[in-house]
Structure 1
Amino acid sequence: MAFLNLIRWKNLTIIVFMAMTIRYALLPGFGQKPSIGLPYYLLLILTVVCLAAAGHIINAIFNVTTDSINKPNKIIIDQVIKRRIAFKLYFGLNVLGLFTILFILLSNPSKSLWIVFSICVLSPIALAIYSIWLKKIALLGNILISILVGASIFCFGLALVDNDQSPVFYFTILTYALLGFSLNLSRELIKDVEDLRGDYYCKMKTLPILIGRKRSNHIIFGLLTFTILILLTILLNYFLSLNIFIFYVFVFVLIPLILISKRILKAKNQKDYTSISFHLKLVFLIGISSMFTFLNL
């Protein structure tokens, strides 16, 4: 169980759910056939899961000091799993993920999979840089992690359908990737406020440390408001004819985001931020589930 908590199995489950929803809901909703077979797509899911799990491990290794202050009851490195073993798991998962994506590319050479391969190769480097250096710097680390979240959505869609085959499907995937990026960036900033005490002790320069909790709340509020406006603009300009999809997104995504953004301005303690972070993750899951409405097209 300690290993599962170390690799954050709940987040990995979300990745699997997201990938399968794209494959079995969004893709048939557009009447498209997948560019790669199911075995190779499952291997792609394995690749992303392995690289994400490795990223969680390296982050936990370099986060022991802050976690000992912010989450003393949830520390795994050195207390349950030795650091030496954690590093071996980290390298093993990265090697497995990279060899898997290389096998997929060699078996299905295409421009789309070359892009996916490049993103997968760069991801472990980006995650290591984040854990060692960028996590300590305001916004840069938050943005990098959020880009990788959006890139994972993009990779699953790109592996299934080439841009030239279905530009509408491609645009829809980019919209979901944008949603993933923006919601994750908001959650990353919220987690920085949650971890303010430990980060301050470790002399990090996160946004809440530099500008304070209240100003950070206003920036998160502005980011969520911007996300709402962008989604609203995309919906009204490109998806207005999809009644079920429009209704679903308005009721289960946009309205909750409006309510959450109002709660941000009133958030004061760790309990408030933890609750808001959880509900943002829930909205993201609900947003991904909106792909099922495309089956009615």
Structure 2
Amino acid sequence: MKLLQLIRFKNLLLIALVQVLIKYAMFPAFGVNTTLTAFQFALLVISTLTIAAGGYIINDIYDVEADSINKPNKLIIGKHIPEDKAYTYYMAFTVIGVILGFYLSNLINRNTFFAIFVIIAALLYIYATFLQQIVLVGNIIISVLVGLSLVIVGIFELLPAINTQNQFIQSSMFEVVFDYAVFAFIISLAREIVKDIQDVDGDYKMQFKTLPIVLGKNRARYIAFGLTVFLILLLIYYLANYLYMRQVAVAYFIIAVIGPLVYISIKLFSAETKAQYKSISNLLKLVMLSGMLSMIVYLFILK
């Protein structure tokens, strides 16, 4: 059970859900050609999840001291799982993920795609050991990787299936996947900043150069607020230009995504306590989920 907590199994389930929605909800709704069989897609999902699990573990290994201050009740490494055993878990998950990525890339005759898995694993390690201590860089890297967990499905499913007859629809579909990845990136970046504000005490003691430590909690809060407002405006623009004729989609986004984001932006503008920032962080994760569940809507509006 502690291992499941260590690898953030709920976050992993969210990643898997989003990838499944892309393949089995979005792609069929648009009628695009895909590459992976069910077995090959399972390899992609498992590879992504195991590499992500390894990233969570190595991050916790290097965050033990800070976490002992920020969230002592949730500390696992050193308290429930020895550090050397955690390293073993990290290596096992990462190696399994990279090997599966290599195998999958060869199965579909796209050997160069293997580099994606190596780069993701390397970035997660570099983030944990170095980048998270650099102001905003660590936040951006993690948010990019969140977006990449969506884009990788488009890379493996759409690109190998492109031919002269379907190039337009395949490229257009990849753009839609990329739009969702941008949504995931922005909301993840806002959440990372909120989490840094929440963890400012432990990070300060560890001499991390996070945004709230360098600029102050209020300025960091305003940046997170600005990102949230920017995402709201971006979604309104997207609805007005691409989905305005689809009333079901418009209603879904307004009720399940834009509305909650407006509420979050209001709460961000007045947040002060650690409990308030924790609540905002959880709300941002829920909006991330509701945004991704919108892929199901396409099955109904494109019939």
Aligning the two structures, in what range does the TM-score lie when normalised by the shorter sequence?
Answer: over 0.9
Give the secondary structure class of the aligned counterpart of 1:166: helix
Match of 1:172 among 176, 179, 190: 176
Q: Which residue of 2 aligns with 1:240?
A: 244
Match of 1:120 among 108, 117, 120: 117
C-alpha deviations, 1:17-38, integer Å up to 9, x for none? 1111111110111012421111
CA contact (8 A) 2:47 2:100 kept: yes
The one-letter code sitting in structure 2 at the alignment partner of 1:137 is I
Q: Which residue of 2 aligns with 1:70?
A: 70
Q: Which residue of 2 aligns with 1:139?
A: 136
How many angstroms apart in 2 are the aligned matches of 1:68 and 1:59?
A: 14
TM-score of the superposed pair, with normalisation by structure 1 = 0.96
Give the secondary structure class of the aligned counterpart of 1:241: coil
How many angstroms apart in 2 are the aligned matches of 1:238 and 1:249?
A: 13
Which range moved further: 167-176 or 279-288?
167-176
Number of aligned residues: 294
Q: Which residue of 2 aligns with 1:83?
A: 83
CA contact (8 A) 2:29 2:298 kept: yes
The alpha-carbon deviation at position 239 of structure 1 amounts to 2.5
The one-letter code sitting in structure 1 at the alignment partner of 2:153 is F
- RMSD after superposition: 1.3
How many angstroms apart in 1 are the aligned matches of 2:251 and 2:115?
A: 37
How many angstroms apart in 1 are the aligned matches of 2:104 and 2:259?
A: 40
The alpha-carbon deviation at position 292 of structure 1 amounts to 0.4
How many angstroms apart in 2 are the aligned matches of 1:228 and 1:40?
A: 36
How many angstroms apart in 2 are the aligned matches of 1:87 and 1:234?
A: 44
Return closer, same or farther for 1:118/1:238 CA change in 2, 3 Å cut-off. farther
CA contact (8 A) 2:19 2:153 kept: yes
The one-letter code sitting in structure 2 at the alignment partner of 1:140 is V
CA contact (8 A) 2:33 2:170 kept: no
Q: Which residue of 2 aligns with 1:49?
A: 49
Pairing 1:18-37 to 2, within 5 Å after superposition: 18-37=18-37
Give the secondary structure class of the aligned counterpart of 2:178: helix
How many angstroms apart in 1 are the aligned matches of 2:92 and 2:241?
A: 46
The alpha-carbon deviation at position 204 of structure 1 amounts to 1.0
Which stretches of structure 1, 4 residues or more, deviate above 4 A after TM superposition?
none
Which range moved further: 77-86 or 46-55?
77-86
Q: Which residue of 2 aligns with 1:219?
A: 223
The alpha-carbon deviation at position 158 of structure 1 amounts to 2.4
Verify: 1:277 aligned to 2:293, yes or no: no
How many angstroms apart in 2 are the aligned matches of 1:79 and 1:68?
A: 10
Give the secondary structure class of the aligned counterpart of 2:122: helix
C-alpha deviations, 1:164-203, integer Å up to 9, x for none? 3522211110111001000000010000000000001111
How many angstroms apart in 2 are the aligned matches of 1:276 and 1:125?
A: 30
Give the secondary structure class of the aligned counterpart of 2:54: helix
Give the secondary structure class of the aligned counterpart of 1:109: coil
Q: Which residue of 2 aligns with 1:12?
A: 12
The percent of aligned pairs where both chains have the same amino acid is 37
The one-letter code sitting in structure 1 at the alignment partner of 2:36 is I
Give the secondary structure class of the aligned counterpart of 1:138: coil
Give the secondary structure class of the aligned counterpart of 1:284: helix
Q: Which residue of 2 aligns with 1:96?
A: 96
